[in-house]
Amino acid sequence: MVKLYTPGHNIITDSLIMHGVLRILGVLGYHSGVVQRVGERFIIDIEGLDQHSVRDLGSKFRNTDVYHSLQLTLNLYINKGYMPRDQKVSKIFESNPNEPANRSWATNLSESLLNLDLSNYLSSDHITSVNEGRRKGVRTLYISLSSIYGKYQELDYNTIDKPYSVCDTCFGLASLGLIYGALATVLRRENSKYSLFMTIIPEDRIEIRDLLIIQRLLEGYMTMGRFSASAPSDIPLLALPLYSLSVGETLAAIESEADVLTWKVAKVGNFIRSLDTALIRLNKLMDFITEVKMLIPEWPRIVSQCFETEDGFTILSELTEVIVFSREISHIYSTVRSIISYIEDMKDTTCKNLLKRMHRVSEKLVETITKVVAI
C-alpha cells in the first residue's frame, strides 16, 4: 500500500491530476485502492504498490499501447497539423480558448510524458520542493487546466506575463486528466468561444475502481453553436451536468457520494477569461435523471433535441438548482411552469410532440423532484 498526494495547485488542477494518475494506474492494472478528498487535494491510497515501485510507474506507462498511440497522435498534430481523430485527445485542442497555443500544448504534453514521475507525489509538499507556481517552472498551466481564479480576467491574452508554471509530472498528468477524466462542451459564436468543463470527484472517498468506471462518462467532447442559428449565446454552468448526464451514457448507480466540478473559460474578442466554477452534488442529479428516464424514456432525446437553446439551457440550470439546492415547493412549481410554457412556445413539431410526453407527466415530474429534493 502506498499513498500519493496531489500537489495542491487548486481544486481543478488537482482533480485533473488525480484523474490522470488514476488512468495510468488503470492502464497498468492497479484498480484497488481509495481516493480521498482533503480540501482541494486528494490522497490516493493504492494497493499492490510500494514506494519503490511507484518510481517505475512512469516508465511502465511508457511501454503501453495507450502511451505509444497518444505520442503518435500528438506527433502527427505537432509535425503535420493533423487534428487528432481520437475525440478524447482532440478535445484538449478544440476546447482551448487560446487556439494559437495548441501546437505548443501538444509539444509540452509530448515532452512532459517522457518525464512523468509519480514518485513526486509520495510527499505532501511537492509544490514547495520544486518551487512551482508563479515563480519559475517548466510548463505553463493552460487556463483549461486551472481556470486560475480570474487570473486572466481583463487581460489581453497577448500580454499575460506571469503564467502559472508546473513541473513535467503535474503538466502531463493534468493534461491526461483533461483527456480521460473531464468532459468538455464547446460553444462557438461569431467572435467568441465558450468552453465548459466537467469532472467528477469524491465528496469524501471513492474506490479507485469506481472512479475508473466514472471516467467513461467523462471522456467525451461536445460542440455546438457554429452552424445553428438557434444556438444559445452562452450556456449557464449549472446546466452542464444535467445536460451531459442526461444525453450521455447511462451510468449505473454510484454508491459513493460524489461531486461534479465544473468550470468555464472563454475567449470573447481578444480576451481570454476564466468565467466561473461550481461544485454540486452528483448523486441527487443522478437520482433525478434515473427517475425521469423511467417515467419518460425519451428524456435523453428531449434534452439533446429540444433544450439546446438559450431558454432550454436556462431551464436545465433552474432544474438543477431545484434538484440540488432548493427545498421550496414554490420554486419547484415555478420551474415546472417554465418547462410547460417552454413547451407551449416550441415551434419545432418534433420537439413539440416529444415534449407533450413531458406535459402529460408534469405532475409526476413534480412528484419526482419533490421526492429527490426530500432525500
Binding site for Zn ion (CB under 5 A): 166-167, 170
Nearer of residues 34 and 170 to Zn ion, judged by Cβ: 170
In whole angstroms, what is the distance from residue 152 CA to residue 122 CA? 32
Nearer of residues 128 and 153 to Zn ion, judged by Cβ: 128
Q: Residue holding cell 514547495? A: 128
Residue 289: all three cell numbers together: 435523471
Q: Write down the least CB distance from residue 197 to Zn ion, Å.
A: 21
Q: Extract the runs of DSSP E, i.e. beta strands, from the chain.
A: 2-5, 33-38, 41-46, 139-140, 165-166, 183-189, 192-202, 205-207, 221-224, 258-268, 271-281
Q: Write down the least CB distance from residue 176 to Zn ion, Å.
A: 14
For the residues of 258-302, what is the DSSP string, one character each?
Answer: EEEEEEEEEEETTEEEEEEEEEEEHHHHHHHHHHHHHH-TTHHHH
Q: Write down the least CB distance from residue 71 to Zn ion, Å.
A: 21
Nearer of residues 38 and 294 to Zn ion, judged by Cβ: 38
Q: Write down the least CB distance from residue 21 to Zn ion, Å.
A: 12
Nearer of residues 170 and 266 to Zn ion, judged by Cβ: 170
CB hemisphere CA count around 311 (13 angstroms): 12
Strand partners, 194: 187, 266
Q: Write down the least CB distance from residue 146 to Zn ion, Å.
A: 13
Length of the chain: 375
Nearer of residues 171 and 307 to Zn ion, judged by Cβ: 171
Q: Is the distance from CB of 264 to CB of 343 less than 8 angstroms?
A: no
Nearer of residues 29 and 39 to Zn ion, judged by Cβ: 39
> Which DSSP helix (H) or strand (E) runs through 158?
none
Q: Write down the least CB distance from residue 5 to Zn ion, Å.
A: 11
